[in-house]
Amino acid sequence: MTELLQLTVLIPLYNEEESLPELHDWIVRVVNEHTYSYEILFVDDGSTDESWAVIERLSAQNPAVRGIRFNRNYGKTMALQTGFQAARGRVVITMDADLQDSPDEIPELYRMIVEDRYDLVSGWKQKRYDPLTKTLPTKLFNAVSRWISGVQLHDFNCGLKAYRQKVVKTIAPALYGDMHRNLPIVANWNGFSKIGEKVVQHRARKYGTTKFGLERFVNGFLDVLVIGFVHRFSKRPMHFFGTLGTLSFFIGSVLAVWIIAEKLINIAQGVKFRNATDNPLFYFGLVAIILGVQLFLAGFLGEMLVRQGLNKSGELLVAERVGFDG
């Protein structure tokens, strides 16, 4: 039987060899001061530096350290998904490995989950040590996320978050792409509506450089739209595609009938007329009819796929583990 701990500190990482020992020692000091039963779970997302060797050394020194290494870089979402599935803590706290998140926030985040009964608590980096090129897109992304999802958080993408274990076990199978930016939205749409926020300290990066570029914000906007669409229509695609298809087919049919009827009336009245094919609206109606049929068929095929169910690809490959029994 797997031991259920009070706390899992989950740390996804990519090329952070310099910061890992300091981060480990800081976390251990904090959790020991509060006498938590805990584990520190590092998920190495295919690092090309000595990060995995550092994790192996830390695991040898501290039995509470476990590690998972991917055979290549899959992205932060897959690292979190794998960590969520392996976590044994009643409370799971995620943080970045670059020392910009402070482990001193752990006790209060833990208390908010256990005592205040939140399902998820998201950190809010109210004061950031980032350039304007990063903070401005972040504000826009957060505003759009609030508008689309209805989840009222200031900072969706903060890596420092706390979860009830049931939350991470529920949402983990649904994660893909870059959904790590939208985990509060995914949790909320899976029925975990008690979502809180805590102002947390944001520290300047001590080692290395950021692994993310400006393209992450474009991807973030697109992911919010995808999540919104999937939440509303994944179980009923015909409601979306069928409605659009029917509307397009109806508009096209009305235009075609109107053009043909106008021609027939003009012929009957002996009025000069032009061929239907000379009227631009005829082609617009024809395109609308074809598009309507295609959208309807897309909805029909979507319904069939939902009925059959889709299995996820098994391409994710864990190369090594450390600190795991068996």
Tens of pLDDT, residue by residue, the chain (326 residues):
456 799 999 999 999 999 999 999 999 999 999 999 999 999 999 999 999 999 999 999 999 999 999 999 988 989 999 999 999 999 999 999 988 899 999 999 999 999 999 999 999 887 765 555 566 666 777 777 677 767 888 887 788 999 999 999 999 988 877 778 888 888 888 889 899 999 888 766 666 555 555 555 566 556 666 666 665 655 566 666 777 788 888 888 888 888 888 878 877 777 776 776 777 887 888 888 888 888 777 767 765 665 555 444 445 578 788 878 75
Q: Residue 131 has what pLDDT?
A: 56
Whole-angstrom distance, CA of residue 199 vs CA of residue 78: 26
Contact residues for 60 (Cβ-Cβ < 8 A; gap 6+): none
Burial 281-313 (b: 16+ CB within 10 A, else e): ebeebeebbebbeebbebbeebbeeeeeeeeee
Give the per-residue pLDDT at 191.
Answer: 87
Which pLDDT score, from 0 to 100, does residue 206 have? 61
Per-residue tokens: 188 = 């909320």
Give dist(CA 288, CA 303) in Å, integer: 22
Count Cα neighbours of 14 within 13 Å in the Cβ-side half-sphere. Answer: 17
Contact between residue 98 and residue 194 where contact means Cβ atoms under 8 Å apart: no
DSSP string, 172-215: GGG--TTGGGGHHHHHHHTT---EEEEE--B----SS--S--TH
Contact 140, 40 (CB under 8 A): no
Distances (CA, A) of 151 to 47, 122, 202: 34, 11, 22
Helices (H) and strands (E) in the chain, counts: 11, 8
Assigned token pair, 212:
């993310």
Rounded Cα gap, residues 240 and 303, in angstroms: 11
Query: What are 124-146's pLDDT values in tens digits?
Result: 887 765 555 566 666 777 777 67
Residues 176 and 76: their CA atoms lie apart, in Å, by 10
